[in-house]
Amino acid sequence: MIIAIDGPAGAGKSTISKILAQKLGFLYIDTGAMYRALTLKAIEEKIDIQNTSRLIEIAQNTVIDLKNNPDSSLKISLDGRDVSREIRHPCITRLVSDIAKIKEVRQSMLGLQRKLGRQRDSVLDGRDIGTVVFPDADKKFYLDADFSTRVQRRYKELKELGQSVTLNDIEHDLRNRDTIDSMREVAPLKKAEDAIYIDTTNMAVEQVVEKLLSIVR
């Protein structure tokens, strides 16, 4: 079984997907983390963001793996190295959407995402899961929330990670990524026609999880 969860940044996708997967005993696949890992490699290799051919090349020659730890945290490895923390850094967030908009980069990630998802019952979260990665997913959800709520949620999350960010930084980042992610030509952020739309603005995490669980079951 495949559960697809799409939506913009800060709508609660990763929090909800992780809990949902845990409750169902499914694998949780954070597809955004894969684009983030690739972005980290591009930065480390000092590849210019405009150098599309080099970015495509590294996407094709990078081993990204994803494991669910028993404590429900996620381990992301990049060429065998654990990068779970590093990929949340603001310098990755700033560039990731520009790398994720490249068609061939997406093709490389798509292969990996499908391979992982076919191994086990899975919950995948991202931007194009219900539309492109698994258009025949058993259940599709599109999680959304008001812009200011998304900003607040992301602010709290990053503060808890110990990052020194301002609300202004977050507003700027979300606006920038929402625009790039939804305007790009390939696999833009969009609700699949058959996805269930859930506005999580006034919902607690547990309420959203319960709602999804009741629909899935």
Q: 3-class DSSP state for residue 217?
A: coil
35 or 141: whose CB is closer to ligand CDP? 35
Task: Give 75 or 214: the residue with its C-beta nearer to ligand CDP.
Answer: 75
Cα angle 32, 95, 4; round to 5:
15
- Integer angstrom CA distances of residue 36 from 11, 78, 212: 18, 10, 26
Among 96, 170, 208, 209, binds ligand CDP (CB under 6 A): 96
Residues numbered 119-138 forming contacts with ligand CDP, rule: CB under 6 A: 126-128
Q: Using alpha carbons only, how large is the chain's radius of gyration in Å?
A: 16
Q: Which is nearer to ligand CDP, 14 or 122 (CB)?
A: 14
What's the closest the beta carbon of residue 217 comes to ligand CDP, in angstroms? 25
Of 12, 170, 181, 200, the one binding ligand CDP by CB under 6 A: 181
**Do the Cβ atoms of 149 and 67 come closer than 8 Å?**
no
Cβ neighbours for 16, distance < 8 A, ≥ 6 positions apart: 5, 143, 200, 205, 208, 209, 212
Closest contact distance (angstroms) between CB of 170 and ligand CDP is: 10
Q: Give the x-and-dash track for 27-46 against ligand CDP (CB under 6 A).
A: ----xxx-xx----------
Q: Does 18 bind ligand CDP (CB under 6 A)?
A: no
- Helix/strand number for the chain, H first, E second: 8, 8
Structure tokens belonging to residue 101? 């908009």
Nearest distance from C-beta of residue 36 to ligand CDP, angstroms: 5
Considering the complex, state which of residue 18 and residue 177 has its C-beta at the smaller distance from ligand CDP.
177
Q: Give the residue with the Cβ less far from ligand CDP, 106 or 209.
A: 106
Q: Between residues 58 and 214, which has the closer beta carbon with respect to ligand CDP?
A: 58
CA atoms within 13 A on the CB side of 100: 29
Residue 20: strand, helix, or coil:
helix
Sites of contact with ligand CDP (CB under 6 A): 9, 14, 31-33, 35-36, 96-97, 100, 126-128, 177, 181
